[in-house]
């Protein structure tokens, strides 16, 4: 009888970068199984330019600027650690110029004639997301099947093959309405990170019921052609809020709500769950550990107030939406989230002011950009020092983007 003999070759190492030869596409089961191995993700973009007057070169430059910001914002506590690596390294798989060669008789906010407007639009959202998944747009994308170059791929096929992981598009916003900032139809998982077959969640900042579930998660970002990377980063950060709180990934929700202050009603018995729900009242911080706010004509005070990460519109000491300049110091645990490195095993609290993100004011100056680079750098990312409720190392939050 013949016997086999060991060859001495080592088994192939499991990749620590995604996509890779084993896993290429959003929602691959491989991602959940190998989440903790990953040291870098390289998602590929399909970029569409509907903004008349924005050249392909200008559009690519705007996209590359945002890619750079997202990379910097994925460096775990990069403001403190110059050697912290970028976890997210986006690249453009294809840039599709859909602008008109000549001015339109009716400019409609200067968006292209190929812009998928909602028929008989009256108000609100004016972008028909469903059409991005139709043969009409397959022809415009003109992405060929690597195995059969004579055949064009649909958007669903591009995502299934792992050629595309997100769609970004440039357009104008004006009196004829606008798209959603960033939306996602996301594959749903159970508490053990197992896919729930056929189940999905609306997991973005808003939702278009026309966007189909294609069997894999897909995020679609609107980039306002007249704004900079900070505004697009704000849209994507709202989208992260929506994804984290959608319950598509049950593990993430409680930790993100703790980080982002979406549990104020449970923690401090406020009449709102987050500062988004404060009914427009102006907040005040009389001492570093006190939050004061008006409610129904009376002044209310929260003592022993200790915010962690804040949300997209509110820094730890934000007085109102978009406040980037409040000099009042507050105690915060944002830079020690779930580390248990303070007294009695609590997270260490420190005095906090907007000086913490001063370095990013020139780097990402518009909208909430400077705050959000710093905010995202404090997400538990690659090699984070946070612990989950069981005392185990907190899972890196970034791979959840592509579950």
Residue 3 has pLDDT above 50, yes or no: no
pTM: 0.95
Positive or negative torsion for Cα 282, 287, 291, 295 = negative
With bands split at pLDDT 50, 70 and 90, how would you rate the model's confidence at 6?
Answer: very low
The reported pLDDT for the residue numbered 8 is 59
For residues 256-262, give the mean pLDDT: 98
Q: What pLDDT score does 9 carry?
A: 63
Mean pLDDT, rounded, of the chain: 96
- What integer is the mean pLDDT of 259-272? 98
pLDDT of residue 90 exceeding 60, the answer is: yes
Portion of the chain with pLDDT greater than 90, in percent: 97
- Quick: pLDDT tens for 304-349: 999 999 999 999 999 999 999 999 999 999 999 999 999 999 999 9
Q: 97, 134, 128, 92: which is closest to 112 by C-alpha?
A: 97
Query: Mean pLDDT, to the nearest integer, of 166-181?
Result: 96
pLDDT of the residue at 4: 42
The single residue listed with the structure tokens 């930790």 is 255
The three-class DSSP label of residue 149 is strand
Please give the pLDDT value at position 1: 44
393 pairs with which residues across the strands?
387
Residue 62, classed as helix, strand or coil, is helix
CA separation (Å) from 365 to 184, 229, 320, 369, 370? 26, 8, 19, 6, 6
pLDDT for the residue numbered 111: 97
Q: How many CA atoms lie within 13 A of 377 on its CB side?
A: 25
Residues 6+ apart with CB under 8 A from 269: none
Spatial separation of the C-alpha atoms in residues 171 and 62, rounded to whole Å: 12
pLDDT digits (tens, 9 = 90+) for 200-248: 999 999 999 999 999 999 999 999 999 999 999 999 999 999 999 999 9
In percent, how much of the chain has pLDDT > 70? 97
In 3D space, the residue among 20, 45, 52 whose CA is nearest the CA of residue 34 turns out to be 20
In the prediction, which pLDDT does 36 show? 98
Residue 49 pLDDT more than 60?
yes
* Nearest partner of 183 among 165, 208, 160, judged by Cα: 208
Work out the average pLDDT over 346-367: 98
Mind spelling out the 3-state secondary structure of 80-105? CCCCCCCCECCEEEEEEECCCCCCCC
Strands (E), 173-297: 182-189, 195-202, 218-224, 290-295
Q: Are strands 182-189 and 148-152 parallel, antiparallel or unpaired?
A: unpaired
Q: What would the two tokens of residue 68 be?
A: 């750079």
Torsion of CA 135, 137, 142, 147, to 10 degrees: -40
177 — phi, psi (to 5°)?
90, -170
Closest C-alpha among 64, 368, 89, 110 to residue 235: 368
Residue 34 is predicted with a pLDDT of: 98
Instruction: Render pLDDT for 108-120 as a digit per residue (tens, 0 to 9).
Output: 999 999 999 999 9
> For the segment 125-166, what is each residue's pLDDT rounded down to a tens digit?
999 999 999 999 999 999 999 999 999 999 999 999 999 999
The 10 Å Cβ neighbour count of residue 401 is 22
**Residues in a beta bridge with 224:** 171
- Give the pLDDT band of residue 98 (cuts 50, 70, 90): very high
Which H or E element spans position 41?
Answer: strand 40-41
Is residue 194 a contact partner of residue 200, using CB atoms and an 8 Å limit?
A: no
Q: How far is residue 139's CA from residue 130's CA, in Å, rounded to a whole number?
A: 15
158 class by beta-carbon count within 10 Å (0-12 exposed, 13-18 middle, 19+ buried): buried
Q: How confident is the model at residue 12 (pLDDT cuts 50, 70, 90)?
A: confident
Number of neighbouring beta carbons within 10 Å of residue 123? 7
Spatial separation of the C-alpha atoms in residues 98 and 112, rounded to whole Å: 7
The pLDDT of residue 5 is 44
**Which two tokens mark 243?**
């994804």
- State how far the Cα of 243 lies from the Cα of 185, in Å rounded to an integer: 9
What is the separation of C-alpha 21 from the centre of its chain, rounded to a whole number of angstroms?
25
């Amino acid at each position: 009888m013949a016997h086999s003999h060991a060859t001495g070759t080592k088994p192939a190492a499991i990749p620590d970068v995604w996509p890779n030869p084993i896993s290429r596409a959003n929602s691959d089961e491989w991602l959940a199984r190998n989440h903790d191995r990953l040291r870098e993700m390289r998602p590929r973009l399909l970029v569409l330019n509907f903004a008349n007057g924005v050249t392909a070169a200008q559009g690519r430059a705007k996209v590359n600027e945002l890619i750079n910001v997202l990379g910097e914002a994925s460096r775990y506590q990069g403001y403190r650690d110059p050697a912290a690596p970028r976890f997210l390294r986006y690249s453009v798989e294809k840039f599709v110029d859909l602008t008109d060669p000549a001015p339109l008789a009716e400019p409609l906010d200067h968006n292209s004639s190929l812009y998928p407007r909602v028929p008989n639009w009256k108000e609100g959202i004016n972008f028909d997301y469903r059409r991005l998944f139709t043969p009409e747009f397959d022809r415009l994308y003109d992405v060929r099947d690597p195995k059969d170059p004579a055949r064009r791929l649909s958007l669903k096929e591009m995502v299934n093959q792992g050629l595309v992981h997100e769609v970004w598009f440039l357009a104008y916003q004006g009196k004829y309405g606008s798209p959603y900032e960033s939306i996602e139809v996301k594959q749903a998982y159970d508490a053990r990170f197992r896919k729930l077959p056929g189940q999905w969640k609306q997991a973005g900042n808003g939702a278009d019921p026309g966007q189909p579930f294609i069997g894999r998660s897909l995020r679609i970002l609107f980039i306002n052609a007249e704004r900079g990377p900070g505004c697009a980063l704000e849209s994507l950060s709202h989208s992260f809020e929506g994804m984290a709180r959608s319950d598509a990934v049950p593990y993430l929700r409680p930790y993100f709500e703790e980080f982002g202050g979406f549990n104020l009603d449970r923690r401090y018995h406020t009449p709102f769950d987050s500062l988004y729900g404060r009914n427009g009242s102006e907040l005040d911080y009389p001492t570093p550990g006190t939050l004061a706010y008006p409610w129904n004509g009376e002044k209310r005070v929260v003592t022993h107030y200790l915010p962690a990460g804040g949300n997209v519109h509110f820094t730890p000491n934000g007085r109102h939406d978009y406040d980037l300049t409040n000099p009042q110091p507050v105690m915060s645990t944002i830079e020690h989230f779930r580390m248990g490195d303070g007294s009695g095993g609590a997270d260490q609290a420190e005095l906090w002011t907007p000086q913490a993100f001063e370095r990013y004011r020139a780097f990402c100056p518009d909208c909430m950009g400077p705050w959000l680079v710093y905010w995202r750098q404090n997400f538990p990312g690659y090699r984070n020092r946070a612990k989950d409720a069981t005392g185990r190392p907190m899972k890196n939050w970034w791979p959840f983007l592509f579950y």
